[in-house]
Structure 1
Amino acid sequence: MKWFTALFTMAVMISLPIFTMLNAAETVRIYPAPSGVPLSSTFTAQADGRDVPVYVTTVLSEKPEERQKSAKNNMLTSFASFDMRSGVRVTVRSSTAVTSAKILPTSSGIQPVISGRQIEFTISKPGQIALELNDDWQNTIQIFANPFETNIPRSDDPNVIYFGPGVHQVESVKVTNGQMVYIAGGAVVYGNFTPKKSAGGAVFALEGNNITLRGRGIIDGSQCPGHTRSLITAHGKNIAVEGITLCDSSGWSFPIRGCDHVAVDNIKLFGWRPNADGIDICGSRSVTVSNCYIRTWDDLIVIKSINPADGDARDITVGHCVLWNEVAHALSLGAEMRKPVSNIVFRDCDVIRDKGREWVLRVYHCDAADISGVVFENIRIEEARRLFSLWIGKAVWSKDKAYGRIDDVIFRNITVTAERPRIEFQGIDDEHMVRHVQFSNVIINGKALTPDLVRQNDYVSDVTYDGVDGETLRPKKEAKLVTTLGFEPEDTPKWTLGFGAKPSDEAPMFGKASLLADTSGTAGEWFEFFYSDPQALPLTPGETYTVHFKYKALDKKNPKARLYFLARSAAGKAPDQGWTELDIEPGTSGRKTVTFTLEDGKDYRLIFGLHFQGKVQLDDVRIFTGQIKDKALQ
């Protein structure tokens, strides 16, 4: 916090604004909503007896099976915001009957009192909370209690781009060296979009040094079609963003790219559309994110090194944030990590909801960089479907052909409530491992974490549990062969052939026949040519499998063509596992071993496919339960 205060003060001073004096007698400051902006029909709110506007914004559907189709299945959530100087008595009234109420995060210690349809409670210090009624996690109002603003700039300051109370329409505002953007409380700035004229970019593009964006207003991207622009982008040095609320981005909400010395404090962020990440810190150094509330469809706060030109990512601290995880990751690194990532700290955060298909805390390494010095500490997780993951592999986001490494990760002072906690660690080979992982005071459902809860393959080493070597505690499970498929005429059918695939006895790689897949003369991008039958080859939820196969590349009509493998739930209710891509430069051949652990779905099937146009042979597919090193299969 000392670093943030210094940086924010420096950014404000450099912009040389003329400041407006405050009323020192005020204890609560409320900003009236501008005319025409939609307000909640479900909730009303008061702070110390004064009406507070309750806004609405879009979030995902309450039905888990519809969450991957957010364009058609979404709903509104409510939020209210005010500034406070000391303790505030908050009153919320619901349009429906109230039988129970709770306030998240639980660590806030705030106890609501119900009286009919009215709920009252006291907030003693600034922060963000969610009031949930009737044990219905979607029947929620979010309350944002901000600290009082100081040094508010005047609207006539030449160094300030000023948005006063009211509704504003902009396409894209470029902010350069030494400038400040101020969005006053009671201001709603809508980013709009003219096709071809302004595709890409951001509603506010912070490009330069010593830039500040602050206020108590709202930036709203609901008028932009999907994947057209971010709400804020940052590229430069000494950048501070504070106090605002961001709603409905059409893509990444707030990417920070190639930056040094960035401070993000007390922003509130909602996103419901695919790829509507919260804060993406990409190839940046000396970044702090503090006191924020984030609820988005995709990753909430994520660190990447996606563009090698931006350099490495290091010295990044995320702290004191309240997180509602909708679909993807809450606090994570990846997937794109092409330059080193180091000295990353996630500290003192609350994950109040996790409804997603991915992991709460994760290092998801799909490229070739070295990742080291990652700390998750003093984190309270009130719901988790998939808990911790340290994973090296390839995915659709991979850019590098080589694999990377993960080293020195600490999970410390973490409490978790989860029905079925899942933890996975996966390396690739002896040169690309997950190493030196420490668990210290990790409590799951009231009990200390033990090694039997952690699924890991043979390329994970030096894991300790409160100082005890995990290998001395972990029972070993031998791998067992489930089936071998050589595509011989006598093979029992356990697979279905898809587009462009047929058995062939021409130059088989193993036995009498191989599988030939050819998509060379066909338009399209993704071709599943071969997949298992879940009835003939059932795969057990929670089981670890190893799949080994031989392949040979015969033709490559598209330079992007790849052979791929994965395990996928037919109904799409569980995440893909084991994603692997291989180049198919004509004449190349080899063996591949893939190890993965299945999730809840009982309908997983194994899939081979071609991405774009090409021609390959496949043979000697062997499936094992458990883990088996590639050397044992040669």
Structure 2
Amino acid sequence: MAAHLGILYRGVVLLIWAAACAAQSLNSSLFRSSGTSWKSLDLWEVPLSEVNTSSGKSIVHYGSVGYFDFCDQVEVALTYTGSVESVSIRPLSYDIKPTVSGSEITFTLSKPRNIVIEVNGDIWDVLHLLSNTPDLEAPTGNSSSVIYLGPGSHSFPGGSINITSGQTLYLAAGAVLRSTVHFYEAHDAAIRGRGFMYQPPTGGILAENSSNILIDGITILTPGGYVVTLGQSKDTTIRNLHGFSSKGNGDGIDVFSSENVLIEGIFMRNSDDNIAIYAHRWNYWGSTRNVTVQDSSLWADLAHPINIGTHGNSIDPEVIEHLTIRNIDVLDHREPQTLYQGTIALNPGDDNLVQHVLVDDFRVEDFRQGQLINMRVMYNEKYNTSPGRGIHNVTIRNLVYNGSHSNMNVLVGYNEERPITFVKFINLKVNGKLVYDTMPKPTWYMTSDFVPMYANEHVKNLTFVLE
């Protein structure tokens, strides 16, 4: 195993103190309810990818991942090898203030959080510290409906396991699964727990032609494909998932032709889109409706944190609609290719119509390279057989960006028949400045100049307001 529980990664030692909480955790000795002593937390080494824009190859960096459960409050102490010039704990919106004394960094978590501890501005050699509340309903063994994987390494013949209707695959704390998990034509089934999936060969979790699927609490490191693929399924919940990828096209969660999807409380750091929402592709057919992504943190080492619309069915056009994206922290976005930029990207092709989208409480930190917003009704010859039909009725409320690396933001309709219509920004704030139509400005300036944003002649009813 390239990285294993128990390693000390690059001189980082993490100690945890927990009060008033006897909890299940990565190992049974991690917490003491009395809170009288410090205990060490084992870390995983995780590869992370940076694209070399000269060769197209990946430059591999290594960070670390630690996970534990707790309730009440914990104090965290890290000892760092070398001098500590600066420490940033992200998302910045959590306002966690560390104390630095020599090489020791300390801070307190008042509740479970998924955070990144960045020392001396190094975005690669970081600690991703993930946490959750204890699973008080954890099974203790196999039953007629539960496949229980206890602490230790597990794999299944052929590198995958299919979970059938009514079954739950449970990964206990300390369990490490090396196989892909597949739901196919299943209903009322789940994978949950506090364990890890490590380098599953053909992707992390695939749910296809299924309904009432639950994915909860798992951490997935560097799958051989997407972290989660959801295809032509309905009534699916993905909760408290942590996913890391470093290979090309290493998407986080991709939703195809599915309805009634809830994604919440996740942390994703991926080498391609963190969340992608599409209609038809491959063997998945039909529109996508009623998708909610909320209460999550996203870090895209390449491509988009949120990407909507690319793939569809030009012969029998589909709709991607009724999407809600709220309470999101974007920690990073780096995309050198102009066609694939945007922390929020609505890019319908293949005669897709994207409509009825709400983005609410979306906080973007200073990313490396890209755009804050990209909305294009597009025809991409690499992926599409026709342009998209349009983008309609998008509300973006309480979008906050603090940074200096956003390129010109873009809203571009394809033509008069394939436009962008009724886009409203409410309380848009860029580097502390509210942007709205009645703001003090020269009369010959457009409001969009203050984002800045380019909107072409096929964008109708674009407004910026305060509430």
Task: Please say whether Structure 1 and Structure 2 have the same fold, judged by a TM-score greater than 0.5.
Answer: yes
Q: Supply the distance in 2 between the matched residues of 1:428 and 1:65 (Cα, whole angstroms).
A: 29
Q: Supply the distance in 2 between the matched residues of 1:120 and 1:89 (Cα, whole angstroms).
A: 7
On the 8 A contact 1:409/1:438 being kept in 2, the answer is: yes
Q: Supply the distance in 2 between the matched residues of 1:319 and 1:42 (Cα, whole angstroms).
A: 35
Q: In structure 1, give the amino acid aligned to 2:120.
A: N
State the partner residue of 1:451.
Answer: 448
Cα 1:330/1:320, change in 2 over 3 Å: same
Q: Supply the distance in 2 between the matched residues of 1:367 and 1:165 (Cα, whole angstroms).
A: 46
State the partner residue of 1:595.
Answer: none
Within the alignment, does 1:123 sit opposite 2:112 as a pair? no
| Structure 1 segments unaligned to the other structure (5+ residues) | 1-33, 192-202, 469-634
Secondary structure in 1 aligned to 2:427? strand
State the partner residue of 2:366.
Answer: 383
Within the alignment, does 1:393 sit opposite 2:378 as a pair? yes
Q: Select 2:354's aligned residue among 364, 367, 371.
A: 371
Map 1:351-370 onto structure 2 (within 5 A).
Answer: 351-357=330-336, 358-370=341-353
Q: Supply the distance in 1 between the matched residues of 2:86 and 2:384 (Cα, whole angstroms).
A: 49
On the 8 A contact 1:127/1:291 being kept in 2, the answer is: no
On the 8 A contact 1:441/1:466 being kept in 2, the answer is: yes
Q: Supply the distance in 1 between the matched residues of 2:389 and 2:43 (Cα, whole angstroms).
A: 47
Q: In structure 1, give the amino acid aligned to 2:364.
A: I
Q: In structure 2, give the amino acid aligned to 1:436.
A: F
Q: Supply the distance in 2 between the matched residues of 1:467 and 1:121 (Cα, whole angstroms).
A: 36
State the partner residue of 1:301.
Answer: 275
Q: Supply the distance in 1 between the matched residues of 2:381 and 2:147 (Cα, whole angstroms).
A: 40
Cα 1:64/1:438, change in 2 over 3 Å: farther
Within the alignment, does 1:178 sit opposite 2:166 as a pair? yes
On the 8 A contact 2:71/2:133 being kept in 1, the answer is: yes
On the 8 A contact 1:67/1:327 being kept in 2, the answer is: no
For each residue in 1:97-148, what CA deviation from the matched residue of structure 2 results, as whole angstroms up to 9, or x when unmatched?
2121111011112111112221111101112000110122223111111111
State the 1:278 CA deviation: 0.1
State the partner residue of 1:415.
Answer: 400
Q: Does 439-448 or 306-315 show the bigger shift?
A: 306-315
On the 8 A contact 2:379/2:387 being kept in 1, the answer is: no
On the 8 A contact 1:353/1:382 being kept in 2, the answer is: yes
State the partner residue of 1:466.
Answer: 465
Q: Supply the distance in 1 between the matched residues of 2:218 and 2:172 (Cα, whole angstroms).
A: 9
State the 1:454 CA deviation: 1.4
State the partner residue of 2:211.
Answer: 237
State the 1:397 CA deviation: 4.7
Secondary structure in 2 aligned to 1:439? strand
For each residue in 1:207-234, what CA deviation from the matched residue of structure 2 results, as whole angstroms up to 9, or x when unmatched?
2000110111111127x4xxxx111001
Q: Supply the distance in 1 between the matched residues of 2:433 and 2:5 (Cα, whole angstroms).
A: 52
On the 8 A contact 1:283/1:305 being kept in 2, the answer is: yes
RMSD over equivalenced CA pairs, Å: 2.1
Secondary structure in 1 aligned to 2:417? coil
Q: In structure 1, give the amino acid aligned to 2:354.
A: I
State the 1:35 CA deviation: 7.0
Q: In structure 2, give the amino acid aligned to 1:317.
A: T
Q: Select 2:229's aligned residue among 238, 255, 265.
A: 255
Cα 1:291/1:100, change in 2 over 3 Å: same
For each residue in 1:11-59, what CA deviation from the matched residue of structure 2 results, as whole angstroms up to 9, or x when unmatched?
xxxxxxxxxxxxxxxxxxxxxxx97876523322111011111111110
State the partner residue of 1:272.
Answer: 246
Cα 1:392/1:402, change in 2 over 3 Å: closer
Q: Select 2:196's aligned residue among 210, 218, 229.
A: 218
For each residue in 1:546-568, what CA deviation from the matched residue of structure 2 results, as whole angstroms up to 9, or x when unmatched?
xxxxxxxxxxxxxxxxxxxxxxx
State the 1:304 CA deviation: 0.5
Within the alignment, does 1:205 sit opposite 2:182 as a pair? yes
Q: Supply the distance in 1 between the matched residues of 2:404 and 2:418 (Cα, whole angstroms).
A: 32
Q: Select 1:140's aligned residue among 126, 148, 165.
A: 126
State the 1:67 CA deviation: 9.0
Cα 1:291/1:66, change in 2 over 3 Å: farther
Question: TM-score normalized by structure 2?
Answer: 0.85
Give the structure with higher Rg (CA): 1
Within the alignment, does 1:40 sit opposite 2:18 as a pair? no
Q: Select 1:188's aligned residue among 162, 165, 176.
A: 176
Map 1:20-99 onto structure 2 (within 5 A).
Answer: 40-48=9-17, 49-61=38-50, 65=53, 68-70=56-58, 73-99=59-85
Q: Supply the distance in 2 between the matched residues of 1:467 and 1:370 (Cα, whole angstroms).
A: 28
Map 1:485-634 onto structure 2 (within 5 A).
Answer: none
Q: Supply the distance in 2 between the matched residues of 1:35 and 1:393 (Cα, whole angstroms).
A: 44
State the 1:401 CA deviation: 2.9
Secondary structure in 2 aligned to 1:349? strand
| Structure 2 segments unaligned to the other structure (5+ residues) | 18-37, 436-446
On the 8 A contact 1:239/1:262 being kept in 2, the answer is: yes
| % same residue | 25
Q: Supply the distance in 2 between the matched residues of 1:90 and 1:415 (Cα, whole angstroms).
A: 29
On the 8 A contact 1:205/1:232 being kept in 2, the answer is: yes
On the 8 A contact 2:399/2:428 being kept in 1, the answer is: yes
On the 8 A contact 2:297/2:330 being kept in 1, the answer is: yes
Q: In structure 2, give the amino acid aligned to 1:128.
A: N
Secondary structure in 1 aligned to 2:310? strand
On the 8 A contact 2:292/2:323 being kept in 1, the answer is: yes
Q: Supply the distance in 2 between the matched residues of 1:158 and 1:68 (Cα, whole angstroms).
A: 49
Q: In structure 2, give the amino acid aligned to 1:457.
A: N
Within the alignment, does 1:106 sit opposite 2:106 as a pair? no
On the 8 A contact 1:64/1:355 being kept in 2, the answer is: no
Q: Select 1:336's aligned residue among 305, 311, 333.
A: 311
State the 1:387 CA deviation: 0.9
Secondary structure in 1 aligned to 2:330? strand
Secondary structure in 1 aligned to 2:93? helix
Q: Supply the distance in 2 between the matched residues of 1:277 and 1:428 (Cα, whole angstroms).
A: 27
State the 1:275 CA deviation: 0.9
